[in-house]
Amino acid sequence: MAEAKPFPLPDVDGPLAPLWQAASQGEFRLPRCQPCGTFDWYPTGECRACHGSDIEWVALSGRGTLFSWAVVKRALHKPLAPIAPYVSAIVVIDEDRKTRFVTRLVDCDPESLHAGMPVEVFFADLGYPAVETGVAAPLFTCRATIERDET
């Protein structure tokens, strides 16, 4: 039998190194044009608004709202099988309504989800909760879940 392909890890020193290195420090950073404040996501190195190149990866609140999601019960891409079932999600960041971040929602009831609901970053191993990958990732969870846990 062929050996299973490994879990698809990002290149933490690659083109999105600042995202992954920030995640390993418990920070959620995305690139933003310093002079005009427009986010450069996905990064092109040239501001979409002012065409400047003074772009910095800034630390964000980690808060956002749910834009859309899918409950992946069966992973068609076989290396993802160890985390299935999982909730794939797109989140709009609170700092900019036009910037959407692809992530995974964890510790939420899929039946309770709706567009626009508040979510918050949750740093955990990329394979959370099923496999240890050794890479910390900005996953997201429902803000209501966190608030419930705190009370």
Partner 1 sequence: MDQNRCGRVQLAFVAQPGPARLENIKGKVAIVGVGESEHSAASGRDLDDMIFAAIDAALVDAGLKPEQVDGLMFSGQSAGQMTVARFRAHYGLNHDFWESGAGGAFSFAATAPHDAWAAIESGKASVIVNVHGTNWASQNKADEGGPATAHLAEAMKANAEVPFGFIPQPVYFAHVARRHFELYGTRPEQLGAIAVSSRRHANGHPGAVMRDKTLTMEDYLAREPFIDPLRIEDCCLISDGACAYVMTAADRAKDFPRPPVIVEGVGYAGAIEGIHFAMEPEFASTPHRMSAPGAFAMADLSPGDVDVLAVYDPFTIVALMAIEDLGFCPKGEAGRFVEGDRLWFDRGRANGGLPFNTHGGMLSHAYLLGINHVVELVRQLRGEGANQVADAQVAVYGGFSGVDAGTLVMRRG
| Binding site residues, Zn ion, CB under 5 A | 33, 36, 38, 47, 49-50, 52
Which one of Zn ion, partner 1, none interacts with residue 108, CB within 5 to 8 A by kind?
none
Interface contacts to partner 1, rule CB under 8 A: 8-11, 14-16, 19-20, 41-43, 67-77, 80, 83, 86, 88, 90, 98-100, 102-104, 110, 114-115, 126, 135, 137, 139
How far apart CA 40 and CA 49 sit, in angstroms, is 9
Which one of Zn ion, partner 1, none interacts with residue 81, CB within 5 to 8 A by kind?
none
Q: Is 36 left (phi over 0), alpha (psi -120 to 50) or beta?
A: alpha
Residues 13-30, buried b or exposed e (16+ Cβ, 10 A)? Answer: eeebebbbebbeeebbbb
- Minimum Å gap between C-beta 111 and partner 1 is 10
Phi first, then psi: give them for residue 78, nearest 5 degrees: -55, -35
- Minimum Å gap between C-beta 50 and partner 1 is 18
How far apart CA 43 and CA 14 sit, in angstroms, is 12
Which one of partner 1, Zn ion, none interacts with residue 36, CB within 5 to 8 A by kind?
Zn ion
- Minimum Å gap between C-beta 115 and partner 1 is 4
- Minimum Å gap between C-beta 109 and Zn ion is 40
